[in-house]
Chains A and B, each alone.
Chain A
């Protein structure tokens, strides 16, 4: 029987990998995939916690599982908008490298 801590530790690792990826990757697509990894890490943690809370007899185990579906839907909606913006940019300059985005000065 694997404990909740193990799942949460795995999710923390995935989350960190995703966060590091966002901060170091240069391609907008890769950054976006790293964000997806972070979201899935959060989902994994919620599912693990939901299992734990269900085990203690709390009804909120169900609300955790439901929350995961809501987060999945949110992630899908984000993909739709993000890819839309990316396609619009790619049409103009044929590159998704974020370093090339320097029209706006910092």
Chain B
């Protein structure tokens, strides 16, 4: 159980350090290299090499040789490396989308790619953290870069507003999170999950109220990043206001990181609090948040006319489905979440890639009429969008369907049948708003004024869409390809109830 000795274990840090190094390299390159495509390629190289390290660590964890550094404060076991790989996949695809869109939008400033890599570094630290302070550092490294990216279109008020709103609410959420850490430390005397679990289940432990208050504040802080209702209000505005390639990055990477961290903390610290006094409080709070997220996300999306804003609400709704796995917080829940988040990354990027190809250079024109008759004018884009949206809706045999089945199974297995029923009912609602776009593309005629601009889809954008669509279909037909990697193997830090 106890992993390799030594305090500083460089190999567990390899994925994060690689990304950090490449962030530095791309930043230096940006100074004297005017070819943005080259910088993007270097950034992609960094992501892929980090991915090789992460895959290697995942394989080690599969074989029972998972490593951890800093005394279980930084982990490289199956959940951590699986989420790391998903973060890297999302980052790579988001870089491709950006490479294919930023130039045309006039947003191709050289600092873009270093910021994306830094943000991904923070996301990896978050999902690998086994300690509240490590988690905080990852959260801030990720968020600070994304705040800047959200305000990327500095001359447009919409983008500035997105940046400022995200920043102010994000800083507020961080403050809640940090106070949560303070209270947890006050109750348990430690910051690392392993020692906190031990402290919270000690026979003489009495500070349940402080610990639970801390846990609720931590849920609020992470729930903000994950866009759980009622901490979701920023999401539609920021997703709409930020440039579309940035929105794609935020929607997949930030969400994956927040859920990776939330799952880890729910399966350790929160689980150890559940056996004590007032133990039903945390699952109760989470259930309410998740139920509200499912309802608000899906019905909110139903009311939207713009496709970008619809996707923003759909991102909120998907936070609800992922929340079911957090509630389960066992081996099956972890694996279900790791699968769901991978599927969500692929299908979301697919939808955002098509959206970036169609929207105007100033980020306008995301109305549904833009999609009317797309199947006739741009058949490939329409097909890619249709696969992504149907997968988001959970239509078999696509990846989104398998993901939904897995999280709902995990929720039922741990006795959350009511929420599982709610998830199924709301996913029927979801079909309506996704199908609306598909119908527009395949049934309606292209109307004169709202015609899509005649332009070639940039090659990187096409590659991103291709990977996303093929991935969505393959993961739907052969889920074991990814699920088989994450549903077993070593989890170094998990609460084992003595009941």
A contact residues vs B (CB 8 Å cutoff): 4, 8, 11, 15, 18-19, 22, 28, 31-32, 35, 38-39, 41-43, 45-46, 48-50, 52-53, 56, 58, 60, 63-64, 67, 70-71, 74, 77-78, 81-82, 84-86, 88-89, 92-93, 98, 101, 103-104, 106
Contacts and interface: CB of A to CB of B under 8 A. Distances in A.
SS class of chain A's interface: helix, strand, loop or mixed?
helix
B436 interface: no
A22 B144 contact: no
A37 to B, nearest CB: 9
Contacts of A84: 148
Q: Which 5 A-B residue pairs are closest in the complex by CB-CB distance?
A: A38-B175, A49-B186, A45-B182, A42-B179, A104-B237
Contacts of B161: 89, 101, 103-104
Interface in B59-82: none
25 contacts: A11-B182, A15-B179, A19-B176, A22-B168, A38-B176, A38-B178, A38-B179, A39-B178, A41-B179, A42-B175, A42-B182, A48-B186, A50-B185, A71-B178, A77-B140, A78-B174, A81-B144, A82-B147, A82-B171, A85-B163, A98-B168, A101-B161, A101-B164, A103-B241, A104-B240
B189 A46 contact: no
Contacts of B181: 42, 46, 67
B189 A89 contact: no
A57 B336 CA distance: 42
Contacts of A48: 186
B185 A67 contact: yes
The interface centre, meaning the residue of B148, B167, B181 with most chain A CB atoms within 10 A of its CB, is B167
Contact of A45 (B140, B158, B175, B186): B186
Given A52-B186, A89-B161, 5 more contacts: A19-B176, A60-B191, A78-B171, A78-B174, A103-B241
Nearest to A90: B160
Given A8-B186, A67-B185, A101-B161, A81 B147 contact: yes
A18 to B, nearest CB: 7
B136 A71 contact: yes
B136 A70 contact: yes
Given A35-B172, A45-B179, A89-B160, A63 B190 contact: yes
B132 to A, nearest CB: 8
B307 to A, nearest CB: 15
B167 A39 contact: no
B183 interface: yes
A46 B185 contact: yes
A82 B150 CA distance: 12
Interface in B129-155: 133, 136-137, 140, 144, 147-148, 151, 154-155
Contact of A35 (B158, B175, B191): B175
A66 B185 CA distance: 13
A81 B183 contact: no
A96 B163 CA distance: 13
Contact of A85 (B137, B160, B175): B160
B165 interface: yes
A9 to B, nearest CB: 12
A78 B182 contact: no
B162 interface: yes
A28 B186 CA distance: 32
Interface of B: 133, 136-137, 140, 144, 147-148, 151, 154-155, 157-158, 160-165, 167-168, 171-172, 174-176, 178-179, 181-183, 185-186, 189-191, 195, 233, 237, 240-241
Contacts of A67: 133, 181, 185, 191
Contacts of B167: 81-82, 85
A18 B422 CA distance: 37
Nearest to B139: A74
A64 B171 contact: no
B152 to A, nearest CB: 10
B164 A74 contact: no
Given A53-B189, A63-B191, A85-B163, A74 B137 contact: yes
The interface centre, meaning the residue of A52, A56, A58, A67 with most chain B CB atoms within 10 A of its CB, is A67
Contacts of B160: 85, 88-89, 92
A42 B164 CA distance: 23
A49 B211 CA distance: 13
A106 B176 CA distance: 24
B262 to A, nearest CB: 19
Contacts of A82: 147, 167-168, 171
A63 B237 CA distance: 39
Contacts of A35: 168, 171-172, 174-175
A64 B185 contact: yes
Contacts of A52: 186
Contact of B148 (A4, A85, A104): A85
B179 A104 contact: no
B281 to A, nearest CB: 19
Nearest to B237: A104
Contacts of A18: 175
Contacts of A22: 168, 172
Contacts of A85: 147-148, 151, 160, 163-164, 167
A78 B148 CA distance: 11
